Every structure is written in C-alpha cells, then in structure tokens.
Chain A
Amino acid sequence: MGAFKFLFVKEIKQFFGNPFMPVVLILLPLLLMLVVPLAANMEIRDVRVAIVDRDCSDMSEQLVAKISESGYFILSSHEDTYAGAMDELGKGNADIIMEIPAGMERSVVRGEPVEIYIAANAVNSTKGSIGGGYLSSIVSDFSETLAGTPVAAGAPLTVVPQFRYNPNLEYKLFMVPALMIVVIVLVGGFFPTISIVTEKEKGTIEQINVSPVRKRDFIFSKVIFYGILGIFAFTVAFLIAHFVYGLASNGGLLEIYVSAMIFLVFMAGFGLVISNYSDTLLQSVFMMFFFVLVFMLMSGIFTPVSSMETWSQYVTYCLPTRYFVNILRAVCLKGSSFADLSFDFVMLSAFAVAINAVAVITYKKQS
C-alpha cells in the first residue's frame, strides 16, 4: 500500500505541476456543456423561401403573409418564373422554392383541387426536409381554414400527439446527457492513456519497472487518480445539466454517479490496454481516437440505436457506451432507478471488470 500512496502523490504533483492540464480539465466540460447545446440545435429557423406567385390574388397574398408570420421563414425573394427562383436556390440565396400556380383563387372558389409546388434544397438534408415539412403543414393548415366553416360537418379525426419525458421535443434535452458522456469519454479515456505512454516515451516507466513496485500499484495509482479527475469533470457537466438545462430533476443522483464511476473504470482500463500496446503518444492517441469515435457514433449518443441497421444494432451490445447512454438518458429524463436498469448496470460492470483484467495481464514489466 505504501508504494501506491507515493505513486498517487506523484501523479498529483505531475498533473498540477503543469498548469495546462488542470485548465483543460475545467474548460472541457464547461465549453462542451454550455456552447455545444446552443450551437448544435436541430430546430430549424430562418429558412429562406423564394416565392413564385403566378396567381397574384388576395388569396395568394394571404398565404404568403401566413408563411412569413409563422416565424420559421424569411421571404428572400419574389420571382416571376420558376427558373428565376431556381437560380436563387443555386446561388444559395434561398433554401426553398414555393410556386403558387396561376388561377389558384379561381380554382379554390370553384372547389377544384390546387397543387402548390414546393422544392427544397437538400444539400443540408435536415434543413431541407424539416423546412419543407413546416412549409407544407402551413399550406395545408391554410387550405383547412379556407375550407373550414362550410365542411364542419365532416370534421376529420385529428391526432394530438403527446411526447412523454420531453414534452416539447427539445433537442437540447436529448443532447445534454450525450454531452455528459462525451466529457467522461474524453477525460476518462485520454488522460490515463497519455499519462502512461508519456512514461514509456520518456523512459521513466523503466525506472519504475526495475523497482520493487508491483504493477497493480502502478496501474491503480493511475486508474484511481484519473478516475477522480473524471468524476470531477463529470460533476461540472452534471451541475450544468441540472442548473442550466434543468435535467435530472427527477432525482437519481446515486444511479447517475454509480454508472459514471463504473464507466470511468471501464474507460481507464481501456486506455491502459491501448497504452500497453502502443510505444508512442501518437500511436496511442490515434488508436484511442478511433475507438472513441466508434463509441460515440455507434452507441446511440447522437442517433438512436433503434434506427440503426440490424447488424449494427447487434454491434452496439458490445459497446459499453450503449449501456451508459441508456442509463443516463433514462435517469435524467424519466427518473428511472436501479431496478429498471439492472441489465444495463450488469453489462456495464461486466465490461469494466473484463477490460481491467485484460489491462493488468497485458501490462508487462519485462519484455
């Protein structure tokens, strides 16, 4: 135990001896949690619409006014021809073209069907599809009010969706738990790896290897120290999630911290395995980066697992991030407890134990 204490103190001295790393540790969760949810927003606003109004009637003016009142659209230009509007789209001055056919008012009065043409630039597919969707819903809303009063008899069934746990479908609420995971992956994965590989590059690990220090003391001194740093960064992220975004108001603090700790132990062990197999900082950082990308993109952090290809859904079962994402979202948004998430907790723990066993076995003091 004596050696562990000295190794641990050495880690503290090294970490705080260099003012750069403590700053990174604080800035990373702060920036990630405060800036990214504001910037990475899936809500679409300010879609620019080019209007081709061939009707030039009262009704078409009403429609255009309704669109601009909605708040989602900016009327970028009024064109006489479709080709002119297409030109604007090509130049990037407009995102969507809406063409109102000639004689719309007349046809509506006669009760004939009218087709309004909408063309969206789908280079940015989210903006194109969601903007196009908004626009068509405004148009159909408009046509209902036109038809409104007379056909009240045949009142159609209307669907009133209710979104549970995230009633306003706020993208932020979906993103924030994901970003808390990103914080933990970055701090818990990269810091210990970098620390070990630096010792390898500098040759200091040799000095430790020729000493009677046991390898598990050496490894645990790093896992525990960087685990504490990870919990610290996670706490910063959690406080922001709670006080800025109002998350985890349903309690579940214990569930969140237990899962974070298990996950940190996994990440640290994973980092150790990578550092055992790489000789230089460059190698280890690239390897880590590769796996971190897989962890993030394939485990439902940003896109739901259920919408993945079937084969890749099976792959996600091999990624511990999947379980951690599940736990964090369920606890933060639904207030789930250990009993609801026992499968995820068991799987996460199994991964953590297994990877650390591999780390201790593959770390060799002799070659």
Chain B
Amino acid sequence: MDLEGDFTIPKGELFGIIGPDGAGKTTLFRILATLLRPDEGTVTVEGMDIVRDYRTIRTVLGYMPGKFSLYSDLSVRENLEFFASVFGKDVKENAGLIENIYCRLRPFEKRKAGNLSGGMKQKLALCCSLIHSPSVLLLDEPTTGVDPSSRRELWENLAELRDKGMTIIVSTAYMDEADRCGKVAMMKSGKFLLAASPSDIVSGFGKRLASVRSDDMFRLLHDLRSMEGVGKCYTFGDTHHIILKDGTDMTEELVGEQLVSVYGHTGVQVRRIRASLEDCYMNLGEE
C-alpha cells in the first residue's frame, strides 16, 4: 500500500480520517501503532520516530483495531486487568479515565468477552486501550457495526477524552461522524486529499450545489446526467444532488423548468443547498 501525504496532527486534537474501504486507513493506523514498518518516509508520534523509538511509543499509545481482538475466553474484568498489567499499570490507578465507559460494562464483569454484544465489545475494547492512560489514542473504524445509540455514546466519550488533553485519531467511513472531529483528513486510494476542520472544508466548497426530486427518481438521475451544465449528479438520501458546472448559464430554476418541459417529470423540486461534508467528499479529487 502506498500512502501519500504530509501533515501534522496537533496535540489534543480529535482527528478524523475519512475514506472508503481500501483507502489505506488501516495501513496508516498500523504504521502509527508501530506494527508496520514503512519502507520510506518518516512518522513521528509525540516527537518520537516510529522506527527508532518504537519501544517508547508503545508505552504512550492506545490502539484499538477495527476487528475485535481481546481474549474472548477471558472475562470482561480479566481482560481489563490483563491489559493493564501488560503495560505495568494497575486498574485502580486509571479507573477514573474509563469510569464513564466502564460503568455500562460493570453488570457484565464476570461474563466472557466473547459473549458480549457488539456495542459492549466495543466499549470493552476502548476501555482496554485506555487502561494505561495513553497520551495518543488510535481507533480504527470504532463504529463499524455498532448501533446508532452506541455510536453516539462513543463519540461523546471521545469528546470527553479530548477535553482531558488526549490526542485521538479516529478513522471512519461515516460522514456524519466526521462532523464531530476537530479536524478531518480525507483519503482516497492512499492519498490524503485534504486536511482541515469540517467547517473549513464545507465553506471551502466553491461550487453551486442543488438538491433535486421528482416523482420518478430513477429516471430523474439519468435525465439529470444528460443535461447540459450539470457537472455531477449523485443520489443523496432520498434526493439527488447536482453540481452545476462553473461558468454555465444554468440555474436551479432552469433545471426545474427543463425537467418539466423537456423530460416530462412531475412533482419537480429543485433547491439550492449548502454543501455538507459528504458533498465535499464526493467531489474530492475531481480537479
């Protein structure tokens, strides 16, 4: 996997990495976690080189891989105690940091980790990666396969941890989650296309965007794509989003009129909208 990019993540930031499957997110995390040695380039964590000072980095790093990887044949409590002892720490010393997360797991303390529900497994994994009070936390797609309320809780937990001064790097494939990050980097096939705060990314979107609907959404998509002046068209929830080409005479009103008069659509609605993070992402790497 080739990764291309050059950026710095400030201390105490909640930093999101967005990209589709296969973009290189996990590879990046494995490099940051000192599991993978890059052939070229340098990476430093807390000012330490990941190749030379990997041993020191491992003491300040919390890593939660995308795949559940705790001991499923040990109980919840045993897992927590084991991972604390691996870092030479005591569960009690660091209980404060995980209290908000662990309180939900306490009723299941004696249960084997393998028998927990998906959301609970995720909470336990987070606890285990936090138990040694790391200064940098790496979370590889922590919300994949987790129900919406658990997802929200996780992000609230992350925000609390950030407020305590921890640097957190999260990868996700969900755009709505990226909004919660202080800064996001967008990745596509190993390239970092953009790294800025979500509001900067959105306000930097320099194109005219409109949402379109009609009674026949399927034909609408095809028709919109054949229209002159429409640069790009993609489905977005229950509407289609179109981007009008730069320097075209086309306006939202004209699109609506043409859809009715030329293509015979009924119930047409065309509205100019502000770009969301997902719109920005969809239009990355075009120019």
Contact = CB atoms under 8 A, between A and B. Distances in A.
A-B interaction: yes
Interface stretch (A140-148, A180-188, A198-206): A198-206
Interface string B63-77: 101011111111000
Interface string A346-361: 0000000000000000
A367 B86 contact: no
B125 to A, nearest CB: 9
A202 B86 contact: no
Given A210-B33, A210-B35, A212-B55, A203 B68 contact: yes
Given A3-B85, A6-B82, A209-B35, A14 B71 contact: yes
Interface in B226-266: none
Contacts of A10: 71, 74, 78, 82
B55 A366 contact: no
A13 interface: yes
Interface residues of B, number: 29
A92 interface: no
Given A212-B55, A366-B36, A14 B74 contact: yes
A204 to B, nearest CB: 5
Contact of B59 (A2, A7, A212): A212
Contacts of A212: 55, 58-59, 86-88
A315 B72 CA distance: 43
B164 interface: no
Contacts of A208: 86
Contacts of A202: 69, 71-72
B61 interface: yes
Nearest to B129: A207
Interface size of A as a range: 20 to 34
B78 A13 contact: yes
B69 A207 contact: yes
Q: Determine which residue in A2, A10, A18, A213 has the highest number of CB atoms from chain B within 10 A of its CB, and name it.
A: A10
Interface string A137-172: 000000000000000000000000000000000000
Given A210-B58, A210-B61, A6 B86 contact: yes
A113 interface: no
Interface of A: 2-3, 6-7, 10, 13-14, 17-18, 202-204, 206-213, 365-367
